Amino acid sequence: MTAPLDLQVLEAAAQWYVRLNAGTPDPRLLQSWQHWLEQNPAHARAWARVEKVQTRIGQLPAEVALPTLTGLRARRRAVLKTLALLLAAGASGWGLRHSDTGQALLADVRTGKGELRRLTLADGSQLQVNTDSALDIRFDAGQRLLVLHHGEISVQTGSDAQARPFLVQTGEGQVRALGTRFCVYSADGCSRISVQQHAVEIRPRARPDTLLRLDAGHSVQLDRQGFTAVAAIAPGADAWTQGMLSVIDWRLADFVVELRRYRPGVVRCDASVADLRLTGAFPIADTDTLLDNLSTSLPVRVRFMTRYWVSIEAA
């Protein structure tokens, strides 16, 4: 099992975050940060925690984003506030609900950021695992169970001679397949289920006596309290199973949030271009080319400051 992150390493990650966000970083600072990042696996893990918390809330402390942080005291306050958020994430699971737990670290199937996997299960079912995911496969005489710790999967169930139920379990509830193809995404205390073929039955953990049948073409979100309203599946929602990120009339800022799931490092979107609208299908496997091509669709400039730091700005 991976050792817990040391407080000094987390504080260093917080300091780097504040320094890199206190204005446009110069090349020497970026090189120093990249050297620190590659120096020790623990540094990369601490920075991954920064990324996950940043993705969860959109940004870290507001004062960090100011062009300047005047005085050592102001910078230190920003570091301490960032560090407090990182420690809260590790202790409570907020923004990192399962990613640091032993169950996820020791899961039967794990994917890294940007990695997609296809598996054929023992019963012939087809399983696709999206980026940054972890799950256990528990098939026995009574059931076929997938325990999704975090991330996203797509399942095409196979027939079973023993008529065992096919189940997917997340922290928020359980999904039972009714001879079907469906997706489950679990993150930040919420699960999203969408059905491409036939139907599933869903039981929320908070109300196990409640049962919802979800038919093809529909999706629903599930949290600790129960269901959201059933809605039509968003176009392109399962395009990742074909190695694509498909969006229709998305804000650029929202597209960047989704892109961060697939690309290591930092991708920043300047506020001046955040509300530009984007439509298209983009290959997940080559995010460098994806980012390069943004400037052909939108009036933006994409700056690769290092391989881990990309800034999207007005052209």
pLDDT in tens, 280-299: 999 999 999 999 889 998 99
Take residue 260 and report the two structure tokens written for it: 């961060």
How would residue 185 be classed by pLDDT, with cut points 50, 70 and 90?
very high
Asked whether the predicted pLDDT for residue 252 surpasses 90, the reply is yes
What is the predicted pLDDT for the residue at 287?
Answer: 93
Looking at per-residue pLDDT, the higher value among 76 and 136 belongs to: 136
Asked whether the predicted pLDDT for residue 101 surpasses 60, the reply is no
Asked whether the predicted pLDDT for residue 253 surpasses 80, the reply is yes
Listing DSSP states for the chain in one string gives -PPPPPHHHHHHHHHHHHHHHSSPPPHHHHHHHHHHHHH-HHHHHHHHHHHHHHHHHSSS-GGGGSS---HHHHHHHHHHHHHHHHHHHHHH-TT-TTTTSHHHHT-SEE--TT--EEEE-TTS-EEEE-SS-EEEEEE-SS-EEEEEEEEEEEEEPPP-TT---EEEEETTEEEEESS-EEEEEEETTEEEEEEEESEEEEEESS-TT--EEEETTEEEEEESS-B---EEPPTTTTGGGGTEEEEEEEEHHHHHHHHTTTSSSEEEE-GGGTT-EEEEEEETT-HHHHHHHHHHHSSEEEEEEETTEEEEEE-
How far apart are the C-alpha atoms of 72 and 143, rounded to whole Å? Answer: 59
Asked whether the predicted pLDDT for residue 182 surpasses 80, the reply is yes
Other CB atoms within a 10 A radius of the CB of residue 314 amount to 12
Take residue 219 and report the two structure tokens written for it: 């999706």
How far apart are the C-alpha atoms of 96 and 44, rounded to whole Å? Answer: 15
Q: Which of 69-73, 130-134, 273-277 has the lowest mean pLDDT?
A: 69-73
Asked whether the predicted pLDDT for residue 250 surpasses 70, the reply is yes
Which domains, ranges and CATH numbers included, belong to the chain? 7-92 (no CATH), 102-232 (2.60.120.1440), 243-314 (3.55.50.30)
pTM over 0.85: no
How would residue 54 be classed by pLDDT, with cut points 50, 70 and 90?
low
How would residue 98 be classed by pLDDT, with cut points 50, 70 and 90?
very low
CA distances to 110, 160, 221 from 145, rounded to whole Å, are: 16, 13, 20
pLDDT in tens, 192-235: 999 999 999 999 988 888 899 999 999 999 988 888 889 999 88
- Give 181: exposed, middle or buried? Use CB within 10 Å, 0-12, 13-18, 19+: buried
- How much is the mean pLDDT over the chain? 84
How would residue 270 be classed by pLDDT, with cut points 50, 70 and 90?
very high
φ and ψ at residue 131, rounded to 5 degrees = -55, 145
Share of the chain above pLDDT 70, in %: 80
- Residue for token pair 């929320």: 204
